[in-house]
Structure 1
Amino acid sequence: MTSPTDISGLTPEWLTAALGRRVTAVTTEPVGTGQIGTVHRLRLTGEAVPEQLLAKLPATDPGVRAMLAGAYRQEVRFYTDIASTVAVRTPRCHHAEIHGDGAEFVLLLEDLAPARQGDQIAGCPVGHARSAVANLAGLHAPRWCDDTLLDIEGFSRNGPEEAATLRELYGPTTDIFLDRLGDRLTAQDHDILRACGEVIADWLTARPERFGLVHGDYRLDNLLFGTGTTPPATAVDWQTVNLGLPARDLAYFVTTSLDPEIRRTAEKGLVATYHQRLTELGVTGYTLEDCWQDYRFAVLQGPLVAVFGAAYGTASERGDTMFATMIRRSCAAIRDLDSLAQQPAPLRSPAPRPDPAE
């Protein structure tokens, strides 16, 4: 059985072989915009088969598929090798396969409708954030500082080579970002982004005494929420999963998901919620103060992801608004938490400059 590369290949016969149960009919509809792959909702008829599934397939363009093969491999590895060993809430995987260099793959995942996707631009209520950080601890705690993760193909810790590459690329990428979206930021935000470039390479490899699985892009658009004041959160889109300082996911989520005035009030409670869940899941020797200091340190994850995402991703009005919003929130957090002063090569926060927007 070969992997279909588009939805037409998900025939009843193919699905019968993949699921091990007879599928007599299938109807499909696209979900989302399909920038780095395609997602379709499947409605199945057959013998003891799920009524609905989501199918994830590679991008339609062969060149894009080849470029993203590494990301496809990581997501399939998460579902086949990692998901069953952690406590993070994520869709159940009914079938996963990948062929060749990774440009051909299929994932058949639980359809969590009517759960609703988070909105990165709008942000979220504190109750949603509380659920999200507790769920995040379920990814980090079970494999906390687990050296056996290094035995899994595709999983590695950042070292001098990655740091050198980031040192070379961050400055020019920031220039591209500011040329495109700089008019949506304040002068102080410009200064913060450039100051991050002076420490970001050392930041990448710092605090090696703590590591674990990191989602890499744990944010509202990659979360689904149920109903209620503190609704259950489910994490999706695992293309960027790898190893790193766990607090990078925590700081990235909190500081990019909440507007500054809400974050300032809620963040200590959210860090405490995350830390409590870590301890419930067995992490020891890691105090709440350790967690808070890692959180302050790790806030640079926001600019790192957003600058590169905006500079090299497919441009769209929503995407531009989203990345600018994430950067504004991240820069405010870096100032509030004095995060630049926490870096391996201490750097004072830039002096305030007049804001041209005022």
Structure 2
Amino acid sequence: MLNATLGLAGIARETIRTGLERTRGRGRLPRRAEELTTEWLRSALGQGADMIRGFRVLDADSGTAARVRIAIDGEAGTTARTLFVKLAPRDFSQHVLLNLFGLGVREVLAYRALGDRPPVRVPRCHFGGIDAAERGSVLILEDLSGAARFRTVRESLDETEAFAVVDALAGLHSTYWESARFDTDLAPLARRTTAEIRLGNLIRRAFLRDIKGHTADLIPAHIKKQCRMFYERDDEIDAFWAAQPHTLTHGDPHLGNLFFVGAEPGLLDWQIARAGAGIRDVAYFACASVEPELLRRTERELVGRYADGLAAGGVAVDPDRLWTGYRAATTELFLAAVCTAEAGDRMQPLAVSRVGVERAVAAVEAHDGFDLLSSLL
């Protein structure tokens, strides 16, 4: 009860603070597309008037962040180059959530951590700015339109594509495995604030105590009961995963956050990046992105492929222990998929969230995920 009260108090404080922020004049960073200016773009990109004569907004949308595609006009006679800008979301409740969980700031930190030679394919980051006073952030990224293939959550990867993604995750994870940087420049990605923890528990309790949204019919009664452990035993679950070797994880590697350039996969949307157990990324990706029948035939091989990839990067792991971690981590997708579905179409279109829940239920049932996780605590 105390945690719930404190969580609500934190939401109230951030709601007021975000409301005041949105009514103020222009800040150090632009907050929305209308605040983008030629002068600011020149400063952010370190380019002069001859390189940036002006810009045009080509298209824009907003979800957990506002996304604006722009064309920059440079020297006379040159073709306009396009860039992708991420800003605070237009929707007020989404903006509050972004600030409460530090999602925008976390994504900028992730791109800084990945650097100029990232171990996994990502859009090139031209600028990442943080306004600590306003908890604001802005990213200017490579525009992948026309160069990359994008997939939707309702699709499924084939075996070759799934192996390629697991190889990419192994490359990412081995690079940052138990990195000393989590005590220095990456420290913000290795900790959660008290407010984040309390709010997360509040959300899990609200959504999982009585699942009745549009995907409730997809979830067997015994799993509806078992999943309450996410708020009843949240401290134990957090402690279990905290005790595993840590690396830089994407946190949300479902099919909608993947792209392919040729046969090479890449990862988008690093808002939930954090230090964590790498096998959680693998289980989340596989269970969300490969249709269940194919996954059941190939997932043991996928986990073995991941172990081999870690070994190639100098990280020795116990394959059997990794497999156990994979099975327990199937519960992570369930948590994300059901909470997203319970939030309604504010987070994902209903048809998309039904696919996510179907795949999540199939995974936890196939691996007795909740019973296994309970036995490991």
- Name the TM tier (shorter chain): 0.7 to 0.9
Letter matched to residue 303 of structure 1 = F
Counterpart check, 1:326 vs 2:356: yes
Letter matched to residue 281 of structure 1 = G
Structure 2 runs not aligned, ≥5 long:
1-26
Counterpart check, 1:191 vs 2:207: no
Distance (whole Å) between structure 2 residues aligned to residue 110 and residue 7 of structure 1: 17
Q: CA deviation at 1:313?
A: 6.0
Call closer, same or farther: CA 1:160–1:94 in 2, change over 3 Å: closer
Equivalent residue, structure 2, for 1:23: 52
Q: CA deviation at 1:135?
A: 1.5
Equivalent residue, structure 2, for 1:343: 373
2:83–2:140 Cα contact (<8 Å) kept: yes
Equivalent residue, structure 2, for 1:98: 130
Counterpart check, 1:215 vs 2:247: no
Identity across aligned pairs (percent)? 27
Call closer, same or farther: CA 1:52–1:182 in 2, change over 3 Å: closer
Deviations 1:16-45 (A, max 9, x none): 2221223013222225x4112211222222
Structure 1 residue matching 2:346: 3-state secondary structure: coil
Q: CA deviation at 1:49?
A: 9.9
Structure 1 residue matching 2:325: 3-state secondary structure: helix
Q: CA deviation at 1:171?
A: 4.2
Structure 2 residue matching 1:253: 3-state secondary structure: helix
2:209–2:228 Cα contact (<8 Å) kept: no
1:248–1:295 Cα contact (<8 Å) kept: yes
1:255-334 pair list within 5 angstroms: 255-284=287-316, 286-312=317-343, 314-315=345-346, 319-334=349-364
Distance (whole Å) between structure 2 residues aligned to residue 122 and residue 181 of structure 1: 20
Q: CA deviation at 1:107?
A: 0.9
Distance (whole Å) between structure 1 residues aligned to residue 134 and residue 149 of structure 2: 29
Deviations 1:113-136 (A, max 9, x none): 221222111222222222222212
Q: CA deviation at 1:159?
A: 11
Deviations 1:206-251 (A, max 9, x none): 1513122221111111111223xxx211111111111222111110
Equivalent residue, structure 1, for 2:277: 245
Distance (whole Å) between structure 2 residues aligned to residue 102 and residue 163 of structure 1: 21
Equivalent residue, structure 2, for 1:42: 70
Call closer, same or farther: CA 1:320–1:13 in 2, change over 3 Å: same
Letter matched to residue 223 of structure 2 = I
Call closer, same or farther: CA 1:60–1:248 in 2, change over 3 Å: same
Letter matched to residue 12 of structure 1 = T
Distance (whole Å) between structure 2 residues aligned to residue 158 and residue 294 of structure 1: 22
Equivalent residue, structure 2, for 1:236: 268
Call closer, same or farther: CA 1:54–1:166 in 2, change over 3 Å: closer
1:86–1:138 Cα contact (<8 Å) kept: no
Distance (whole Å) between structure 2 residues aligned to residue 191 and residue 211 of structure 1: 32
Structure 2 residue matching 1:243: 3-state secondary structure: strand
2:31–2:87 Cα contact (<8 Å) kept: yes
Call closer, same or farther: CA 1:265–1:345 in 2, change over 3 Å: closer
Counterpart check, 1:5 vs 2:38: no
TM-score (norm 2): 0.79
2:212–2:342 Cα contact (<8 Å) kept: no
Distance (whole Å) between structure 2 residues aligned to residue 106 and residue 280 of structure 1: 35
Call closer, same or farther: CA 1:265–1:315 in 2, change over 3 Å: same
Call closer, same or farther: CA 1:346–1:132 in 2, change over 3 Å: closer
Distance (whole Å) between structure 1 residues aligned to residue 38 and residue 134 of structure 2: 24
2:337–2:360 Cα contact (<8 Å) kept: no
Q: CA deviation at 1:105?
A: 2.4
Call closer, same or farther: CA 1:60–1:341 in 2, change over 3 Å: closer
1:135 to 165, 168, 181: 168
TM-score (norm 1): 0.83
Q: CA deviation at 1:302?
A: 0.8
Farther off after superposition, 81-90 or 115-124 = 81-90
Structure 1 runs not aligned, ≥5 long:
348-358
2:208–2:227 Cα contact (<8 Å) kept: no
Deviations 1:51-86 (A, max 9, x none): 221111111356643441211110111112344585
Structure 1 residue matching 2:350: 3-state secondary structure: helix
Letter matched to residue 311 of structure 1 = E
